[in-house]
Chains A and B, each alone.
Chain A
Amino acid sequence: MTVEQIVSEGKDQFPIGMRVLAVDDDPTCLLLLGTLLRRCQYHVTTTSQAKTALKMLRENKNKFDLVISDVHMPDMDGFKLLEHVGLEMDLPVIMLSANGDTKLVMKGITHGACDYLLKPVRIEELQNIWQHVVRRKKKDRCNSGSKDKPHPDSGEAAGIGNVDNNGKLNKKRKDQNEDEDDERDENGHDNEDPSAQKKPRVVWSVELHRKFVAAVNQLGIDKAVPKKILELMNVEKLTRENVASHLQKFRLYLKRISCVANQQANMAAALGTADSAYLRMGSLNGLGNFHTLAGSDQLHNAAFRSFPPSGVLGRLNTPAGLGIRSLPSPGTIQLGHVQNSGNPTNDLSKLQSFVPGNHNTNILQGMPMSLELDRLQHNKSVGHIGELPTTDSTTVFPGSGSLVDARITGFSNNPLLGVTSNSLMLEGSSQQATSHTSVSAIGFQNGNALSDFTSIAPASNQLQDSKADSQGQASPINCNAGQIIRSAPQEWNAPRKDAPYQSHALINSSIPINSAMIQLGQCLDRNNSIFHRTTDLDSVGPLNFVDPLSIKHSEGDNYIMEPSVIEKEGYLMFQPRPHGSHVPDNTGSLKDLASAMMKQEDDFGCNGYSLRTSI
């Protein structure tokens, strides 16, 4: 609220300069009111139309501190205006009326007015109205304060992804994601991550990544220098170094994305979101996470993180990680590469290679994937990855169609989307290699390192919910992706716990996904998260291909680069079985899926990310 600003600017200034909006259809009264208020040294704006007043309030919610309105107005009832203001802007409103009937006064108060003044209003009464503003601000502060609390975990969770079992990681991730879910937009989350984390490492949560991307976009990718980005982002405890390394990864990711083409644009978008997803992915532990990463920003992160070395990839070491590794690059791209080989199987192996140990915890940085991958590794899903390729994508997500749609573009939104498509792809894609590609792309999203995700992810902030990751990025990563995805999702999904990897492994072999992957990644990111989560990957085990389609990718479609793509690819990512939380299949929004996935990922615990299983 503005008061806060005012207060912070100069405590002794307030209430001087308090911005009041006065509404009264009677010109005489309005003139009087305005003059009185000015005499009190407030900053006054007057209007005789309630509709105009609302318009003014809506166009800039921070423009006013207080509203004073007459009850009796021809174009809109004062009480109605009162309600609107209260609901939309949450500003204190004072009612004015010539009629002092108790009933009316009561009505005013019950409708939420902070005060009810009688006309003719006197200056003494107006001199004290600022108290309402202060009171409300205080109340808001209290409310928001408590909200920020939940985040503390997130930071840690993310970082931890790499560690321990998927279970743990997932759990943390889950917490983190939950928090994130709750307030995805909360800055607190971002802020808390770095601060709450025990480790000095910065966890690039979806939110944080989103901010990062926004800052980069604002500056222009060419002109984006860490210092400026840092300033724009305005996140506490974030250092220039953090931003610099993240930027580096981001750049790589972008490069990869551009290779992928088409989706590029999407990717960019996704990147923004993906990053967050990306981050998430990291936390996702395990493949499942990747999905989320993919879907949501996380993927980006993962992607950006360029998985490989940076944390995510580190995790990738595990076969699962490998898959992700490939992602590291602009996200799916890596996978893409992997996939390019076309054969999922091949890819998988490749993926595995990626993973080499990057374990950088950094993975968490943005690459939740790595976490997942690690998990995957732990889970032994690693092995699966290779297998994935073969898995028919069919298994993947029946619903993966959505994945495709999820197109990573925004994966963030639909983790599932990405995934879903992938999954779909997987399912059918296996047959259709081509389609797989999309899946693969998607698959990646799931958190797999699918680099695609990164691209996709941006958008998928939502996906981030690790759901996307969980989506198991089924990324078509042509096999590899699948693997990775699995891991990814887990990781990203982090909270999911072990991101059972989420099956994203989708990649089921058939998916040529390579290209698709990227797309998928994109979509996947979004979807991925969704995918993974949502569907019980049933398929086999970790790799449960989450029914991407079920994942309501549609929701997140925003980012999805082309969800459709993803879907096709079927996210190979198997959705880690959403244990427990089985991702609500396509239950509505991907977000749900994503969250579900996230949860699931935890559940999945990526046991051996059996991507292959799903495959």
Chain B
Amino acid sequence: MDGYGMQNQIACIRRSLFDQGYLDEQFIQLEELQDDANPNFVQEIVTLFYTDSTRLIQNIELTLNSRPINFSKLDDYMHQFKGSSSSIGAKKVTSECAVFRQYCAAGNAEACIRNFQHIKQEHAILRKKLEFYFQMMGQAAVAQTR
């Protein structure tokens, strides 16, 4: 029962992630890639994303804090950030990145800085949600084996 209950819970969590726009169909692709040969693929790739993106965020911060701001460099970083976030289906993060790039292209430092805060927020929120999601899944798996 617990197992089923948990499964339901997990399903709900998952659905809300999509409904609220945190995740998009790319995430489903990830899930589809997960199979017996690759049982933890989704978790692996998300973890990898977060490890890598932390580094990127730091670099962007530094660039934003330097004066004068190197927009081209910013654009490079953001390009990459956008690429990887879209690869895991982080919808909100990706769209914020797109906005950032527009400001960056315009040379709007202020807007960039502001926008970047949003990016960081979304990035953090999604992380928490996904962590919780994986945790539940792990527990459910354990519960099932009981």
Q: Do A and B bind each other?
A: yes
Which A residues are closer than 8 A to B by beta carbons? 25-29, 31-32, 35-36, 39, 70, 72, 97-99, 119-120, 122-123
Q: 30 A–B contact pairs at CB < 8 A?
A: A25-B80, A26-B52, A26-B83, A26-B84, A26-B87, A27-B51, A27-B84, A28-B49, A28-B84, A28-B88, A29-B87, A31-B45, A32-B30, A35-B33, A35-B45, A39-B33, A72-B83, A98-B79, A98-B80, A98-B83, A98-B86, A99-B79, A119-B83, A119-B86, A119-B87, A120-B29, A120-B83, A122-B29, A123-B29, A123-B32
A228 to chain B, nearest CB (A): 44
State whether the Cβ of B2 lies closer than 8 Å to any Cβ in chain A: no
Which partner residue on chain A sits nearest B80 by CB separation?
A26
CB-CB nearest in chain B for A73: B80
Which residues of chain A come closer than 8 Å to B80, judged between CB atoms? 25-26, 72, 98
Closest CB-CB distance, A538 to chain B, in whole Å?
66
Q: Are A36 and B33 in contact (CB under 8 A)?
A: yes
B67-114 interface (Cβ within 8 A of A): 76, 79-80, 82-84, 86-89
Q: How many residues of B contact A (CB 8 A)?
A: 24
CA distance A25 to B32 in the complex (A): 24
Q: Known pairs A26-B52, A31-B48. 13 more at Cβ < 8 A? A: A27-B48, A28-B45, A28-B52, A28-B87, A29-B83, A29-B84, A29-B87, A32-B30, A35-B33, A72-B80, A119-B86, A120-B29, A122-B29
Closest to A97 in B: B83
Give the 6 A-B CB pairs with smallest separation, nearest first: A98-B83, A28-B84, A28-B49, A120-B87, A120-B86, A120-B26
Point out the residue from B38, B41, B48, B76 that lies within 8 Å of A28, measured CB to CB: B48
Task: Report the minimum CB–CB distance from B102 to chain A (whole Å).
Answer: 13
CB-CB under 8 A from A39, the residues of chain B are 33
Instruction: Give the residue name and chain of the B residue nearest to A99 (CB).
Output: B79
| Chain B residues with CB below 8 A from A28, complex form | 45, 48-49, 52-53, 84, 87-88
Q: Roughly how many angstroms separate A245 CA and B108 CA in the complex, as a whole number?
A: 82
CB distance from B29 to the nearest CB of A (A): 6
Q: In the complex, which of the residues B45, B53, B89 has the most CB atoms of chain A within 10 Å of its own CB atom? A: B45
Complex Cα gap A26–B85 (Å): 10
Q: How far is it, in angstroms, between the C-alpha of A380 and the C-alpha of B109 when the chains are bound?
A: 91
Q: Which residues of B contact A72 (CB under 8 A)?
A: 76, 79-80, 83
Q: Mark B12-39, 1 if CB is under 8 A from A, else 0.
A: 0000000000000010011011000010
A268 to B82, CA, bound (A): 62
List chain B residues, Cβ under 8 A from A97.
83
Q: How far is the CB of A33 from chain B (nearest CB, A)?
A: 8
- Chain A residues, Cβ within 8 Å of B53: 28
CB distance from B125 to the nearest CB of A (A): 18
Q: Which residues of A contact B41 (CB under 8 A)?
A: 35
**Interfacial chain B residues near A123, Cβ < 8 Å:** 29, 32-33
CB neighbours of B52 from chain A (8 A): 26-28
Quick one: which of A31, A36, A70, A72 has the most chain B CB within 10 A? A31
Q: How far is the CA of A29 from the CA of B85 in the complex (A)?
A: 9
Q: How far is the CB of A163 from chain B (nearest CB, A)?
A: 68
- A120 with B48: CB separation less than 8 A: no
The smallest beta-carbon distance between A107 and chain B, in angstroms, is 15
**CB <8 Å contact, A35 and B38:** yes
